[in-house]
Amino acid sequence: MTFLTKPKLHHPELHKNSLGYTRRDYEGAISTLCAGCGHDSISAAIIKACFELELPPHRIAKLSGIGCSSKTPTYFLGASHGFNSVHGRMPSVLTGANLANRDLIYLGVSGDGDSASIGLGQFAHAMRRGVNMVYIVENNGVYGLTKGQFSATSDKGAKSKRGIVNTDEPIDLVGLALQLGATYIGRSFSGDKAQLVPLIEGALRHKGAAFIDCISPCVAFNNHDGSTKSFDYVREHNAAVNYLDVITGRNEITVDYAPGTLETVTQHDGSTLRLRKLHPEYDMYDRTSAMTYMQQRHAAGEIVTGLLFVDPNPIDLHEHLNTSEAPLNALPQDRLVPGNAELAKLNARMR
Ligand SMILES: Cc1ncc(C[n+]2csc(CCOP(=O)(O)OP(=O)(O)O)c2C)c(N)n1
Ligand code: SF4
Ligand SMILES: [Mg+2]
């Protein structure tokens, strides 16, 4: 069974945001994933982030590939646009939709198999083009849907449930995103909602390619001793470089951190990211030092989490291509089909 409608009954006093929506209005169908799957926690974090940012559900488009992770958009934002594409092809479908209608907020959800194996090329080009989107990889180190084969993000030396040792080098999607030019890059853990929710909120506010690698344990096939993507392993090896608050401009600022440990980043839309820095030497504006830091900590067996890189002045694909401000479906006929005289001028320019 893949689709179970969620009963809409809820407490009449449930808190509403300024649009008049409760958190329940951002939910989807009942999840059919295994009980305890990390992916369900990520869905809950997405629901919370969209509710808190007061995003109108009809302005969001959620796209995915194939896998347990790619099934999750069915379980959140039931009133949003959705497209479940082919394995590894979410980025190109999202890019096309984004080019046709820049007015929507694009949320791509994928898995480590979907993005680091069959979809690696698509992932790379979406990052380097600066497609304005939030791209979340629900990273469990295995192909969960097809019953637990190692994926390309599985660490060398990690053991499968049946005791087989992975001998291949892992692909670090954060490292790739840094190298390829993504302008907002974070890593988190499905079991750390306090870190993950604001990370998603900041990404939704970012105008450019925002990538989040979220470690998300697969309780059915990759949550045993010897796995480097299990709940216990990630809890023991998680090294957060910072914690984040997102202030939208409407919200009154109610928290303040000790001087010297706070970094404020203003994004293009006026929202601010307030970072409590745990590692004072960590510089999230410098790609090269972020890459070096990631590699050093990985070699020491740590999983670095938090907002790892941000460019506060990103340039997205629409700016690169100088595309129409209006969505294509809103352009009047005379702009869509400018006529023979315009065509003749265009042809003349190419002679
Ligand atoms: C073209 C194609 N090749 C292979 C498959 C089989 N397949 C389905 S899901 C999947 C891997 C999913 O792994 P991941 O993206 O990590 O998602 P997870 O289930 O772990 O969340 C594979 C190989 C497919 N559906 N389509
Ligand atoms: S097989 Fe793994 S990834 Fe898929 S739903 Fe179950 S726990 Fe989640
Ligand atoms: Mg996976």
Query: Which residues are close to ligand 3, an ion, with C-beta < 5 A?
Result: 111-113, 140, 144
39 lines ligand 2 (CB under 6 A): yes
Tokens of 260: 């010297």
| pLDDT, the chain, mean | 93
Checking if the pLDDT of 107 tops 80, the result is: yes
* pTM greater than the 0.75 cutoff: yes
CA-proximal residue: ligand 2, atom 2 (nearest): 218
Q: DSSP secondary-structure letter at 73?
A: G
First and final C-alpha spacing in the chain: 59
Checking if the pLDDT of 9 tops 80, the result is: no
Give the Cα-Cα-Cα angle 188, 192, 198 (nearest 5 degrees).
70
User: Residue 113 and residue 115: Cα distance in Å, rounded?
Assistant: 6
Q: How confident is the model at residue 259 (pLDDT cuts 50, 70, 90)?
A: very low
The stretch 268-294 carries a mean pLDDT of 88
Tokens of 138: 């629900």
pLDDT of residue 3: 65
CA-proximal residue: ligand 2, atom 5 (nearest): 33
Which protein residues are within 6 Å of ligand 1, measured from CB? 66-69, 87, 111-114, 118, 138, 140, 142-146, 151
190 lines ligand 2 (CB under 6 A): no
Tokens of 200: 């998603």
- Segment of 52-61, 268-277, 278-287 carrying the highest mean pLDDT: 52-61
pLDDT of residue 189: 97
Checking if the pLDDT of 5 tops 80, the result is: no
pLDDT of residue 251: 53
Name the phi and psi angles at 348, rounded to 5.
-65, -35
Displacement of CA 12 from its chain's centroid (Å): 32
Mutation test residue for ligand 2: of 34, 74, 224, the one with most atoms within 8 Å of CB: 34
Out of 111-125, 155-169, 242-256, 311-325, which region has the weakest mean confidence (pLDDT)? 242-256
DSSP secondary structure, 89-156, as one string: -HHHHHHHHHHH-TTSEEEEEEEHHIIIIITHHHHHHHHHHT-SEEEEEEE-SEETTTT-EE-TTSPT
User: Residue 14 and residue 26: Cα distance in Å, rounded?
Assistant: 13
